[in-house]
Structure 1
């Protein structure tokens, strides 16, 4: 049996976290995950702190990435990014006071060029631990008593793996937990996550929990992560996008219970259609259908006829077209396999 994860005064049980993923982990996706259960902590997409401030100052609607945050069940984390400590602190304070979020998480791990090279944020900041300290410490002060956490990678490049140094800075700055993705920014998502290096970080931390992330695509791998490596929690990312029931499977495995079977193709189809309806209810038919294309491709991944389905769904623009492609190409006929 695996103990619950404690982040500040917040108890995460089971200690399985859903990763913040830009463009994917919006309120509709979180609702689908919540329907299946098994995720101890859900998270939003990452929010651009500077963009949030601009919208606020210009009396514009707050970012779509905060859709649902005010109303949905807790615990819930909101991840933010920028390189300016004062801006980050201002946004963190608003998230705590106005949205009553459970955790404010800082993105120090995004390797995407738009965030790193253009905005000097995300994993770019791993080369500047002093700036990281300032961002974290100011956020901690602004958000207190709500816990502030940080997510990092092993380093910027394979020649500059500095996660041990950064981990100490994160804790000294007052963060309540550290999540580590087992690749460098240079790696993007290539190769395998280095869980050995993640595990070594634990000895550098005095009291805050360590959460491991990378390549967890089965309940068995989640169990193995706890058994083999020195982590207090795990975070599931890309593997859950087409399999939101993965959290429930992993949670059952951690309890020593039989792992629930994969839903049938017919059941998976209904999950996808519910997801579609949730997205359309928020964004309308035109925008919602376009946004759903990428989600639908995730649901089809690895299934019979996935290529034909992806090709068709990539062009849909209306509800009628979406349902037609689903009826014609989503592999419901494989339900009894």
Structure 2
């Protein structure tokens, strides 16, 4: 492993093909959460060098396209958003992935097309033989990446993986070589196996070891980064070119700005006051309702509201009530009465 004890911060910008990611802090694609409203909130705070959509089912995209239906909700906002922006897709058929990748490049002008080889959810793995299931089939991974790279050129293609399917079958080093040999422009590694889901701690030593198995492409580490201090530690201690923040940002979209300041050697901004956090959540709610309407928007916002309250005094009481709202009036009333205050 490279001696990183003397590594100087801030780290240089991350290059994914010709795409400049500065700062090298990426927002993870998270199903059900990282839609256009959430991405806008993160963008307003700043600090993320590359944002990503929710993962898109490539086969579902093709079906909608063939039936002249509206493209997936998960692509809401993509065409108009500031760049750089990544879209993550998943499936196990190289031809389907290539077809969708080309549409994303031609019609949506995305900056990066990312492949999900890390999702551990049973509906994706055991039922669809996709996501982290494909870690047991490196040859199939190679075919998917190779065809997608050819279809998307010159737009870079990246891959996100886990350490392996199970703790006794960790094959991330082998998979990393396959990813690079197939033509991917970067590799993101979540430091758990699919078997772990999100239990235990991410193994950053294992992530760091992968770097020696790559020749030229950057390595991005992911897992348990829930503070600016941990982001700084990741760059100081481990051989990574970038980091990806996931679940910790869902109720704290200002985390990226805090991490970016820390990497620049500046004072880390304090968390917003509870009143400011409440106002941020209400802004988020209005963005969702503007897109999906009051009924669907209110239902979608329940889970976000729980994230904003997480870890605060009275959060459980707030969650109990906000989980039952179905109208905007009910949402505002519950926030007014139960959201934690300063």
Instruction: Report the TM-score when normalising by structure 2.
Output: 0.97
Partner residue in 2 for 1:245 = 254
SS at match of 1:38: coil
Q: CA–CA distance in 1 between the matches of 2:56 and 2:20?
A: 24
Matched, 1:89 2:89: no
Partner residue in 2 for 1:118 = 127
Q: CA–CA distance in 2 between the matches of 1:141 and 1:130?
A: 17
The correspondence for 1:300, drawn from 305, 309, 313, is 309
Matched, 1:209 2:218: yes
SS at match of 2:291: helix
Matched, 1:219 2:216: no
Partner residue in 1 for 2:240 = 231
Question: Where in structure 2 are there 5+ consecutive unaligned residues?
Answer: 1-9
SS at match of 2:311: coil
1:284-316 alpha-carbon deviations (Å, 9 max, x no partner): 000000000000000000001000100000000
Q: CA–CA distance in 2 between the matches of 1:9 and 1:69?
A: 20
Residue 9 of structure 1 deviates from its aligned partner by: 0.7
Partner residue in 1 for 2:143 = 134
SS at match of 2:56: strand
Partner residue in 1 for 2:68 = 59
Residue 331 of structure 1 deviates from its aligned partner by: 1.0
Partner residue in 1 for 2:33 = 24
Partner residue in 1 for 2:335 = 326
Q: CA–CA distance in 1 between the matches of 2:185 and 2:197?
A: 26
The correspondence for 1:263, drawn from 257, 262, 272, is 272
Q: CA–CA distance in 2 between the matches of 1:13 and 1:2?
A: 9
Residue 2 of structure 1 deviates from its aligned partner by: 1.0
Partner residue in 2 for 1:146 = 155
SS at match of 2:243: strand
Aligned length: 333
The correspondence for 1:185, drawn from 175, 194, 197, is 194
SS at match of 2:277: helix
Matched, 1:272 2:281: yes
The correspondence for 2:204, drawn from 169, 172, 195, is 195
Residue 123 of structure 1 deviates from its aligned partner by: 0.1
SS at match of 2:53: strand
Residue 247 of structure 1 deviates from its aligned partner by: 0.1
SS at match of 2:95: helix
Q: CA–CA distance in 2 between the matches of 1:149 and 1:71?
A: 22
SS at match of 1:29: helix
Instruction: Flag as ranges the 4+ runs of structure 1 deviating above 3 A.
Output: none
Partner residue in 1 for 2:323 = 314
Partner residue in 1 for 2:182 = 173
The correspondence for 1:72, drawn from 81, 93, 106, is 81
Q: CA–CA distance in 2 between the matches of 1:319 and 1:273?
A: 10
Q: CA–CA distance in 2 between the matches of 1:281 and 1:145?
A: 35
Residue 319 of structure 1 deviates from its aligned partner by: 0.5
Q: CA–CA distance in 1 between the matches of 2:216 and 2:28?
A: 22
| Two-structure CA RMSD over aligned residues (Å) | 0.3
